[in-house]
Amino acid sequence: MTKPFAGALVAAFVALAAPVAAQTVGVATSNPGSLFHNIGTAVANAANAGGVNSTIQPATSPNQYIPFVNAGGIEFGVANLQEVNYALTGAEWWNGVENPDLRIVAMLQPLVTAIFVRADSDITDLAGLAGQPVTDGYTAQNTILPQLSAYYATAGMTRDDIDPINVTSVVAGGDAFMAGDTVAFYFAHGAGKVREADAAVGGLRALPVADPSDEALAAAQNHWPTAFFMEMAAGSMPGIAEDGTFIAFPQVIFTHAGVPDEVVYAFTQALHDNASVMGETFPPMRAFRPEHMRADAGVAAFHPGAIQFYDEIGIE
């Protein structure tokens, strides 16, 4: 009696798993050279290693592909938590347009950012950017201006204090910097474009926050609510010549409510079980900790398929 039951049970699980393995799911990312392209590639590689056929689909920025995910045009995406929460509620640049079907799959490692100048520049702190040509605008990436404002706030500055050089995206900003159009550009630590710029100009200097106090953090959070301060050790990333404090914030894998539970469950399990693949694909993702995949996501809810997996393995 036991053997036939066990065989039937195994067959049932195989039947459920087979469609997940057979289909290909998409992971929306931003353009090559950007951090989210690197992260999305690492996520897709981990999913593939776990038996979930996955492919990336690049776009200019999350504010372009978040509505596509919400509408069910693609299964998964990578972005920062603050933007997903704004998109859900229609806040800020979403101008009241809600994306109510977004769901969180997993929290990833924090995104740590900086404003970079040349290593041989006379500019050694944020105050030195006053009156200087610095990348601004970011017309295709609405998240960037408030993030820049958060950095400037730690020095008692605003974007009005710099000479804005308008670009469409962080990748375009890196290109403008390498072309000599600006003295500084904004990007995430560890991104391919930062390493490219570091090699192109003979070295970078990452400008830390001007003031690592609680008051300065509160000023930064007025512009980017999920921001927190993170210490970075000298030599840990290009441009960090000495220990410093930088702004970081949570980043996530997200999906839409209509993706079947078994697909999200399998995808979540694949990421959990293949964290090393993500780190091998993109070294900054070695900071990813599977035990932290489930955490406070603000107004965003986790997808039931992800919740089922976390409940089963005891991630609260």
Domain boundaries, the chain: 12-109+250-313, 111-249
Q: Nearest Cα to 29, choosing from 13, 41, 17, 20? A: 41
- The model's pTM is 0.82
Give the pLDDT confidence score for residue 192 in this predicted structure. 86
Burial of 13 per CB tally in 10 Å (0-12, 13-18, 19+): exposed
Give the pLDDT confidence score for residue 17 in this predicted structure. 42
Cα separation, 32 vs 29, in Å, equals 9
Specify which residues 34 forms β-bridges with.
Answer: none
CA–centroid distance for 311 within its chain: 25
- Structural fold of domain 12-109+250-313: D-Maltodextrin-Binding Protein; domain 2 (3.40.190)
Give the pLDDT confidence score for residue 14 in this predicted structure. 37
Collapsing DSSP to helix, strand or coil, 269 comes out as: helix
CA distance from start to end of the chain: 37
Give the pLDDT confidence score for residue 22 in this predicted structure. 62
Task: Considering only CA atoms, give the Rg of the chain.
Answer: 21
Q: For the chain, list residues with pLDDT below 50.
A: 1-19
Domain spanning 111-249 has what CATH number? 3.40.190.10
Fold match, 12-109+250-313 / 111-249: yes
Q: Note whether 252 and 181 are within 8 A (CB).
A: no
Cα separation, 287 vs 282, in Å, equals 10
